[in-house]
Chains A and B, each alone.
Chain A
Amino acid sequence: MPLPYLTEVEAGLYYLTESITSGNMGDKLKNKINTAYPHRHLLGIEGISRENINHILDLAESYIEKNRQIDKKHVILKGRTLINLFFENSTRTRMSFELAGKRLGADVINMSVATSSVKKGETLIDTAMTLNAMHPDFIVARHPESGAVHLLSRKVNCAVINAGDGSHEHPTQALLDALTIRRKKGRIEGLTVAICGDILHSRVARSNILLLNAMGAKVRIIAPPTLMPAQAEKLGAKVFYDMREGIKDCDIIMMLRLQLERMETNFIPSVREYFHFWGLDEEKLALAKPDALIMHPGPINRGVEIDTKLADDLNRSVILDQVEMGVAVRQAVLEILSHTLQE
């Protein structure tokens, strides 16, 4: 059967946010597109090539050593303003961006908005316009709704970094995970990575699946049937419901935080049952490769998704390395995005 208008479907759709934006926000930006990272923003891993990712990771490497020294300061972003705009609680991500900005010499301002008072998107756009009028160079945004950071990025003429939007993406988390893996394993390509937990609601999982696929890793996802998205295999991962099967011969095990705040809606019967089937303990870990690494984006629910001893086992768990890599990766992202800013 012919499919009417298929090309028109793709070509002619009304792009609401574009058309409502009055004026061309992009025209103030210097059109200096860096071929190693040809984007104005970092909104997600989707659309970012393997070359772009390697470019970010390589640059991040250079920051790791410097961050361990007494003088951690650079002047690359001197005079630049970075606004951390968090509509959702965060400790590590916000602090990590704050440190990254400060160590590069930028002025960093934190703006936390209590989620309860920001339910309406109008507020999001009004906030974006207001901040934009103050001429920031970077906005780092986190928002509880998927797509909200995309929306925001179309209302401002600075670089926008997605620090997590709803269940959609958390690109810097995937990048710091990649840097951690690359440093520990020497490569990413060819590794088998199992991501385990609440895949349905996890932006960390989505960004990691995209990034790991781009880098040539084999990705598995493991979740209870109620916490697995529809047609999950189309995300680019092999789907497992049995953790023992899914974890078998893996190089990397990424545990996700069980979002306890969502549990009233019957996604799982109980925390006890969840740990029994999908919690990482010694016995399940033994099925992975002997040198398999344990990762977790934090914060950890000890005894819910991961046995507390495993989380603290420095031979297996790289959870604190991930935090360290986080600052370096965010420095790299800021530096790269600064190249497209107005001088």
Chain B
Amino acid sequence: MTKQIFTKPTHHLDPSHKVAYTNARLFDAESGLDAKGELLTIGSTIADFGPAIFKDGIPQGAKVIDCKGHLLTPGLLDIQVHFREPGQEYKETIETGSKSAASGGVTTVACMPNTKPVIDDVSVVTFIHRRARETGYVNVRTYGAISKGMKGEALTEMGLLKEAGVVGFTDDGLPVMNALLMRRALAYARELGVPVAQHAEDLNLSAHGCMNEGAVSARLGLPGIPNASEAVIVERDIILAELTGGQYHVLHISTAEAVDAVRRAKKKGLKVTAEAAPHHFCLTDEAVAEYRTFCKMNPPLRAEKDRLAIIEGLKDGTIDAIATDHAPHDEESKRVPMTHAAFGIVGLETMLPLSLSLYHNKIMPLRDVIAAMTYKPADIIHVPGGRLKKGAPADLTLIDLDRNWTLEPESFVSKSQNSPFDHWKTKGRAILTVVGGEVVYELS
């Protein structure tokens, strides 16, 4: 029987505390490092690593962790999660959400601002950082809202929010429909050096929609969300990114059309990035039938051609990162007719195995899969981490690549179990998660 052991980080680690990781397969996607070796952390940073750094003996007082040949990678990032705190703590909290992250091998998350109240004020950012320090298991960062109350009207105090520590700006599920507001946000954020991230959806085109518009929605008699609703906003925003020179990031990209638009923007050299969620490269709208509300998310599961386009985008680098859009919901929010059900699924505990399916199915090399969960997302939101480097944060994930396990939402540590991947047989699992030099999660 496996058992998950969680330990909260102290945040007061002795700066001379040493941990020696022996017998590891060191894996760094950025440098291409993939070799047997050893790694030493001192305090909260990576001090050294290499094939035989302990050949003269393990430093005195160091705690030794035998990696047993497993993959030691930089800690994974998930740059789109919803932790529901403050406001909907019955669905998730910073504590349970970050525990879920640790369990999935994720050491840094970026929270979306659709909390109650919205993260549109310095005081809310401060609150989240404090709660993360007091209750969190991993590095909890947050986006700030573009507009006050995410109403799409007036800009938030973006500069002050940046000073308070937000990693970027987004109005989350209420995309900025006003092109002028979007232009100003991109221009302003450019000087702050952070991205403006968009949940790309034209709200008029998608009005009342609850699943992908296509043959399945036609059969089920459900109002659809057309691909065009995503593509028109991505195309518009790319034009605005070019106009302003701002950094534009497409959240959870889901359509072939939008992938194509991002590919063209990158070719032009614009500062445009994109992320994709595992459910968009693992499932199609066929999964919705018959009215499975656990397959309802926004953007919706799309057609097979879109799924393949997402995979193609990940392969050629058009899509930079994998992020889950971890969206916990209680059962009551889902135990209703499809049209009334809440959008979203939990993702932190399934990101790694679902993403590794791309590697195990020989669709992508391991390096590219790990890149999409480490240094690439780190670069989008400009946080340290995501790489094995001397002096980098000692955020590490130990992965048993070949461990077979069946996903069981009822055993998730997240407060919510709304996952469509129940009973999926997967391969590859995080067995140790290290945040700032401290082991926060271990699978025994």
Contacts and interface: CB of A to CB of B under 8 A. Distances in A.
Given A14-B420, A16-B294, A145-B339, A9 B308 contact: no
A164 to B, nearest CB: 10
A206 B221 contact: yes
Contacts of B332: 122
A148 B337 contact: yes
Nearest to A143: B337
Interface in B332-360: 332, 334-341, 357-358
B424 A12 contact: yes
A20 B417 CA distance: 12
A9 B282 contact: yes
- Please provide the 9 A-B residue pairs with the shortest distance between their CB atoms, ordered closest to farther: A121-B336, A167-B221, A14-B422, A147-B291, A229-B218, A168-B221, A145-B337, A234-B215, A148-B337
Contacts of A235: 215, 218-219
B92 to A, nearest CB: 18
Interface residues of A, number: 45
A230 B218 contact: yes
B26 to A, nearest CB: 27
B337 A13 contact: no
Given A12-B421, A145-B337, A167-B221, A1 B363 contact: yes
A237 to B, nearest CB: 11
Interface of B: 207, 213-215, 217-224, 226, 282-284, 286-287, 290-295, 304, 308, 311, 331-332, 334-341, 357-358, 361-363, 409, 419-425
Given A4-B363, A12-B422, A20 B336 contact: no
Contacts of A4: 282, 357-358, 361, 363
A168 B336 contact: no
18 contacts: A1-B311, A4-B357, A5-B282, A9-B283, A9-B284, A9-B286, A13-B287, A14-B294, A14-B409, A16-B293, A19-B422, A122-B332, A122-B335, A145-B337, A145-B340, A146-B338, A165-B221, A169-B221
A147 B358 contact: no
Interface in A168-192: 168-169
B337 A14 contact: no
A150 interface: yes
Contacts of B219: 46, 206, 234-235
- Residue among A9, A13, A165 with max Cβ neighbours from chain B (10 Å): A13
Given A5-B357, A20-B331, A206-B221, A14 B292 contact: yes
A136 interface: no
Interface string A90-125: 000000000000000000000000000001111011
A283 interface: no
B291 A151 contact: yes
A145 B293 CA distance: 13
Interface string A1-35: 11111001101111111011000000000000000
Contacts of A40: none
A230 B336 contact: no
A9 to B, nearest CB: 6
B214 A121 contact: no
Contact of A9 (B287, B311, B334): B287
